[in-house]
Every structure is written in structure tokens, then in C-alpha cells.
Amino acid sequence: MWNKTMRTVATLGMLGTILSACGNAGTPETGGAGTPAAPKPSEPPAPVKLTLLLDSATLSKDEFDNLIVAPIKAKYPHISMEMVTNTNKDKDAGVQDFISSGQFPDLVFSTYPRITNYRELKAVEDITPYVTKRSIDLKKFDPAALQTAQVYSGDGKLYALPFSLNFTATFYNKDLFDKFGVPYPKDGWTWDDALDTTKKLTRTLEGTEYKGAFVQGIGDVSTQLSLSRIDPKTGKANLVAQDQWKRLFDMYKAITDIPGNKDALAGTTLNDGFLKNQTVAMAISYDARIAALEKLYGTPQNFNWDLTQFPSFKEKPNTTVASSGHFLMLSSLGKHKEDAFSVIELLGSADIQKMITDYGRYTALADQSIKEMYGRNIKSLQGKNTKAVFKSQFAPPVPPHKNADLVFTHINQALTRVINGEIDVNTAIREAEEAANKEIAAKGN
């Protein structure tokens, strides 16, 4: 992330815009004959303190203070904010604890899968009436992000609006590509291209092992193909009937079968290999890499890198994983719902989304001009191919199911066995489905 002083300057400048936008139009003058007396100023709203619950999402104190507290204070002086965190490892139990305390927060800041959990716990409410009452144009939001909120809300309702999004990309070490004489990856490349490039880069030279790539996990990549884990009609695991699951297993097997690249999915390959030791040529992953690369900027550990699009499947060109990010929800238990929704409305405005973009977050709005602001104040991104990010569209979201994570546990276990050479792909998928369905049956749902 970029320099804190620069952040503060940008924040103050934007807050000036917000203040001028919400200033009074002026009051009539007094004193002349026939001149109406100035109307008596209305009473200011009573002070309101709102609490934001942080759950399964990342929001630093610096971001909270500058992206939420400060703009709210500028627009709504009577509203103050505080943040609390759901620290329970069992997140739903943590929510229940807040409910039982009688002090459930006014707003929730969380990730998209949690929308369904909060809805089922009846801790948040449908914001459609507020959207309608205030004539908010939902088309201003990134369509995939809005669709994600709608799909995870279910039943034609809307329980959340996006605050910021995640994106995926291929981050690559140009020095290693140059060292081995391999052409840089280009925008629009496919998983077949990525596999071929990984093969060319994986080798041992002068006693040092070089890996071609760290690759994002199968759970995320499966969303590029909109693969479901559960048959919604039967409630059972649905893997064998979808040939694309075999395709994905085969692809990951091919990547990890490259001699020297077996650990392509390991966190150490990403953190130590790509960032620290710089012996991994590519990180095919999420934008969280940028924060780490920014820390390296200006240090002896900095290296020559760039980015391009996340690989796509050839039949779905320029399509990345399903939209993910951070969302805001309105508490169903709060005492100041109108004020709380005003916060949600403000944080989705163009002015605040520009601030969010300056902070290195990816805007939740569809406005291309705001998207193209991304990276302009992040030192490590200067001169980088950031426009590649905007060339990929998000894949449609897969409808959630309460047992989807259960099935995914068995998918991961099956893939590990395949990578370790313990079992063939077809058997692994079949046994994963059988084991998942056995567990679902034991649960009774």
C-alpha cells in the first residue's frame, strides 16, 4: 500500500469535495423592504453512534478511519463510528454471541459467502425497500458483483451491496523469464498457455531449483467454469456427472507433474518462492500479492516484475473467477437503520469509491474511469500492465448451498491424493462424491 502521508492528503482533498457537495445552498438575505426573514435553522440531528462488525474480511484501522469514519463524519456530522470484530473461529457462533448480548452491531462488513449465513441467522435484513425509497440506481455497481450479492441473498431479495472487489492476475518475475529466454505471458492467455510456459520455466540451474508457477487453488478456478458442487434438486454432491471436474483435476495434475513443480499449490511456493527467494517465475493468484510487492518496493529485495491477465479457458476467453470481495449488510437488529443505510449508500458513491481505489482497493462500481484509476498512487504499480486487470470479466456466481464447503473438503483431499500419485483422477472424483454424500446423509440434510 502507498505512503500514509499521500493517503491522508488524498483523503482530505476528497473530503473537501464531499463537504462542498453536501453544503447548504444558502439562506435568504434579510434587511430590505419586502425581503423575507431568514428561516429559523432546523435542529441538527441527534448524535448517533453506529457499530460496524468486521467478519471474515480484511479492513485495517487505517482504512476504517480514512475510508469510512472520515467521509461519514464529513457528510453526516451527527454519526460516529466504531468497529468490532467477530474473533470466534466458529463465525456463526460468534454472530449468535453478538445477538445474545443484545448489542448486535448496526452494519456488517464481510465476504460474499457470509451473506447467506447472516441471512439464515436473521441478523441482517433485505435492503430493497431502502434502495427503492432512495431511488438508488443499482446499475452503477459492477454487474458481476451485484449478481453475486443477489445470488447469495436468494429469494429475489438483496441483503448486501459491494464495497470493494478482489481481482486475479498473473504476476511474473521478468528477470527469470529473461534468464531462461522465455517470452513474457501476454494478455488473453489461456490455461494451456500457462501450462506450456510453466514447463519452460521449471528447471534446476547451478544447484538452484526454479519453479514455473504458483497456481491458485481448484476451488477458485472451478468458478471460471461455473461448476457446482451440489445438485440443487437432490442436495447431493454432483461431481462425476460434470465432466469439467475431471478436466480441472487433469489440469492440476499436469501442472504438478512437471518435474520440480509439484508444490505449485503450496503457500510456501507463493510466499517464499515468488516473493522472498524469487525462484518461482509466476504467481497466478489474487491481488493480495500487490501489498507484499509494495513492501518490497525500494528495498534490496525488490525485483523486476509485471502482471498480465489471469489465464482463461479457451471456450471462455477473458473470463476470470467469479466475483468476490467485501460487502456491506444492514443489521436487522439495529436501532438506527436509516442512518446505517445512509452509511452504505455513501460508501457506494463515486467519490468514496475513488478514495477506495486510491487506497489500492478495486472499485465495486462499473464506472470504467474509476477502474482505470487503480494503481496510480501505488509506487510498485507505476509502469505496470494494470490495464490487464480490466480486460477480464467475472464468471457468473454459482448459487450457494449449505453443504458446498463439505463437498469441497473432499474435493481438496481427492486432488491431494492425485497429486501424490496415490490414485487416478476418475477414482478420486468418484470416491470424493461418495464420501461427501455419505457425510451429508449422516447429517440428515
- Banded model confidence at residue 3, pLDDT cuts 50, 70, 90: very low
The per-residue pLDDT for 31 is: 44
**Same-domain pairing of 217 and 73:** no
264, 403: one domain: yes
Note whether residue 28 is domain-resident. no
By C-alpha distance, which of 117, 402, 119 is closest to 236? 402
Q: Looking at residue 241, which CATH number applies to its domain?
A: 3.40.190.10
Per-residue pLDDT at 397 exceeds 80: yes
Higher pLDDT, 15 or 293: 293
Q: pLDDT-based confidence at 44, cuts 50/70/90?
A: confident
Asked if residue 27 has pLDDT above 70, the reply is: no
Same domain, 315 and 235: yes
Strand order in the sheet with 325-330: 79-85, 48-55, 107-111, 325-330, 161-165, 362-363
Would you state the pLDDT for residue 357? 94
Residues 251 and 161 in one domain: no
Output the pLDDT for position 444: 85
Run of H or E including 441? helix 425-443
Does residue 13 fall inside a structural domain? Answer: no
Per-residue pLDDT for 386 more than 50? yes
Instruction: Report yes or no on 38 lying in a domain.
Output: no
Which of 348, 366, 384 lies at the terminal end of a domain, its last residue? 366
Do 168 and 221 touch, CB atoms closer than 8 A?
no
Instruction: Read off the pLDDT band of 26 (50, 70, 90).
Output: very low
Structural domain includes residue 245: yes
- The parent domain of residue 117 ranges over 46-166+324-366
Residue 17 falls within a domain, yes or no?
A: no
User: Would 3 be classed as within a structural domain?
Assistant: no
Asked if residue 20 belongs to a domain, the reply is no
> Considering the entire predicted model, what is its pTM?
0.87
Do the bridges between strand 168-173 and strand 79-85 make them parallel or antiparallel, or are there none, so unpaired?
unpaired
Cα-only R_g, the chain: 25
% of the chain surpassing 90 pLDDT: 86
**178 shares its domain with 161:** no
Q: What pLDDT is recorded for position 19?
A: 47
Report which of 400, 408, 399 is spatially closest to residue 429, judged by C-alpha positions: 408
Q: How far, in Å, CA of 39 to CA of 30, rounded?
A: 10
Domain boundary among 366, 388, 421: 366
Residue 37 has pLDDT above 70, yes or no: no
Task: Let me know whether 238 and 279 are in one domain.
Answer: yes
Residues 184 and 275 in one domain: yes
Final residue before a domain boundary, out of 313, 345, 366: 366
Residues 307 and 388: beta-carbon distance below 8 Å? yes
Judge if 249 and 188 occupy the same domain: yes
Encode pLDDT of 246-303 as tens digits: 999 999 999 999 999 999 998 888 889 999 999 999 999 999 899 899 999 999 999 9
Number of structural domains found in the chain: 2
Tell how far CA 438 is from the center of its chain.
Answer: 32
Do 314 and 432 fall into the same domain? yes
Q: What is the pLDDT of residues 134-152, one digit of tens each?
A: 999 999 999 999 999 999 9
Considering the domain architecture, whether residues 239 and 276 belong to the same structural domain is answered as: yes
Q: At what angle do helices 113-120 and 143-153 cross, to 10 degrees?
A: 30
**Residue-level pLDDT at 321:** 97
Whether residue 11 is contained in a domain is answered as no
Same domain? 343 vs 404: no
Same domain (yes/no): 226, 301: yes
